[in-house]
Amino acid sequence: MTTILSARGLVKRYGHVTAIDGADFDLEPGEVLAVVGDNGAGKSSMIKALSGALVPDAGEIRVDGELVHFRTPLDARRVGIETVYQDLALSPAQDIASNMFLGREIRRTGPLRLIRKLDTAKMRGEAQRVLDELDIKIKSITQPVETLSGGQRQGVAVARAAAFGTKAVIMDEPTAALGVAESARVLALIDRIRDRGLPVVLISHNMPHVYEIADRIHVHRLGRRVAVVSPKTTTMNQVVGLITGALEVDEHGEVREVESAIHTGLGA
């Protein structure tokens, strides 16, 4: 099976700060891949490169094995990679259907595209179908987004990504601002997206959430990938050790203490 989305040797510098320092990345078909790492480890920067929101200084990105050069988020969207950012990029005063089709409005058929009217009925029907399919419960598709709860807004943003994503959906901290029940609903939603065959990249600081949902965990540290582990064989404490640098993965794929940490007593 071909890797859906991959990167090799990505680099991005902001003046003296190296946000991405030779990062590799691989998203396999049908998986939920969690990306974890400390604040400032460069997770968001890497995700931005993978979704066209920033252009890396070096390195390569492939979609289905084909080299791509994303200059804008639209380039990534065109090949089926949808990203849900923390700010959700919703338009609060507009209704749910309008938000789901923001920038991709369906117009009625007719000769001159620019003067064709929006096909509101079709967009509402389609939006409702996606919400139903993902089991997102919202009273009315004509509700303005500003009347929704945080979890429901997250649901709309995720549903939009799932509706248009054909290759992958990337989510940056989707549960960060949510309560327990709403987080559980978003995790269930991610599960359903995976069930539909769409792989999901999930940046998260929430280790229990990661362990609940991820098939593999990509650990990011100091601007690059330092390990990819399975939540089935690696404990949460070990992942924390990989994040802080107290632990590393050796050439046999075993998690072990970093030698300098042993010598200095930090690994104890």
Ligand X SMILES: Nc1ncnc2c1ncn2[C@@H]1O[C@H](COP(=O)(O)OP(=O)(O)OP(=O)(O)O)[C@@H](O)[C@H]1O
Structure tokens at 178: 């949510």
Residue 59 touching ligand X (CB under 6 A): no
Residue 57 touching ligand X (CB under 6 A): no
To ligand X, the closest distance from the beta carbon of 199 in angstroms equals 20
From the list 37, 52, 151, 231, which residue makes contact with ligand X (rule: CB under 6 A)?
Answer: 37
Question: Do 81 and 50 contact (CB within 8 A), yes or no?
Answer: yes
Residue 185 touching ligand X (CB under 6 A): no
Neighbours of 212 (CB within 10 A): 17
Question: Do 92 and 101 contact (CB within 8 A), yes or no?
Answer: no
| Binding-site string for ligand X from residue 191 to residue 220, where x marks contact by CB under 6 A and - marks none | ------------------------------
Residue 40 touching ligand X (CB under 6 A): yes
From the list 16, 39, 103, 254, which residue makes contact with ligand X (rule: CB under 6 A)?
Answer: 39
Residue 52 touching ligand X (CB under 6 A): no
- CA angle 190-196-198, nearest 5°? 70
How far lies 234's CA from each of 15, 89, 214, 215, 268, in Å? 37, 35, 12, 12, 18
Binding residues with ligand X: total (CB under 6 A): 11
Residue numbers at the binding site for ligand X (CB under 6 A): 14, 17, 19, 37, 39-45
